[in-house]
Every structure is written in structure tokens, then in C-alpha cells.
Amino acid sequence: GRHKQWYQRRVRGALALEHSCPVLVELMTYRVGHHSTSDDSTAYRSIDEVNYWDREDSPVGRLAKHLIARDLWSTDLEDAYAKECRKEIMTAFGRAESERGPNPLWMFDDVYDSPSPHITEQREQLREHLERYGDNYPLDKYMPLD
């Protein structure tokens, strides 16, 4: 995803185990990606800074290097696994996109714990409207009205 986060851990785990006391663990993170699709973060930080955290000093990257150094992982395995994960995600994505949305009248659910008369009235107004003008709406992309 957009937020590739890394964690620099100050682990007081040993302390917690030894002394059975509550421990505050502070995790520092660095946001590698832009804030959103509308953001160009080079406007407020240098690309060198981003690259440093992403490539040189990323805990995820460091873990990979560590495992490779111990013959527990390899760049080939990494590439293959990345490919497999991407395929799995894109398949799920495609399947989800082709699913129909819920019954549009469910739009009126959960405003309150139980529907109030004015909301029920509006639901019926929409139902009635769709009965007459339904051809102008993407109803085929949704489950049928109940």
C-alpha cells in the first residue's frame, strides 16, 4: 500500500519479562509514500531523505538482508513471492470489483439504531422513484431492491 512503515523499536520487553511491570513501547515510523493521491511530498521533503529510509535504513529491508545472509531467504525467493502476492491481491481485487453492491435501499439503514418514520418515508420515496426512473440508474451493479 501507500504507507510503507518501518519501526524502530526501543524494546523494553526484557524489562517487562524480568520485572512484570507495564512497559511503554514507543514506535517511530516514517511514511515512505505520499500522504494521498493528491499529494506530492517532494514539495516538503527531499527525495534523498525518502530514499534513505526506504532503501538504506528500512527495518523490513534489514530483516530481508539478515535472512539472506543466514541462507534462510534469497532475492529469487523474494521476487517469486512478491509476484505471487501481487497476483493474489489483483485476483481478489478483480473479484471484488465485479461483485454487485448491496441493495440500494440499505442506504437508509443504521442512521439510528432503528429507523425513524421520516427515514422510512424517504426510503419509500426512493423505491417509488426507482420504479419509475430505474433505467437511468446503474441498478445492474447492485443487488435487487427488496
Partner 1 sequence: GINAEYGDFWQDCCASRVFNTPLTEQGIIGFGIGAAAAGSTAIAEIQFADYIFPGFDQLVNEAAKYRYRSGNEYDCGRLTVRAPWGAVGHGALYHSQSPEAYFAHTPGLKIVVPRGPIQAKGLLLSCILDNNPCIFFEPKILYRLAAEEVPLGTYTIPLSQAEIVRQGTDVTMIGWGTVVHVLLEVASMAEEQLGVSCEVIDLQTIAPYDAQTIEASVKKTGKAMVVHEAPLTQGFGAEIAARLQEKCFLHLEAPVQRVAGWDTPFPYIYEPFYLPDKWRCLDTVKKLVDFM
Phi (first) and psi of residue 140, to 5 degrees: -70, -15
Least distance (Å) between residue 140 CB and partner 1:
12
Site string for partner 1, 54-93 (x = CB under 8 A): ----------------------------------------
Q: Per CB under 8 A, which region of 2-10, 49-57, 85-93, 119-127 contacts partner 1?
A: 119-127
**Binding residue for partner 1, selected from 13, 86, 137, 144, defined by CB under 8 A:** 137
Whichever of 53 and 142 has its CB closer to partner 1, that residue is: 142
- Cα R_g (the chain), whole angstroms: 25
CA dist 97 to 1, 36, 100, 105, Å? 18, 21, 8, 20
Least distance (Å) between residue 5 CB and partner 1:
19
Phi (first) and psi of residue 88, to 5 degrees: -60, -45
Number of H helices, E strands in the chain: 5, 2
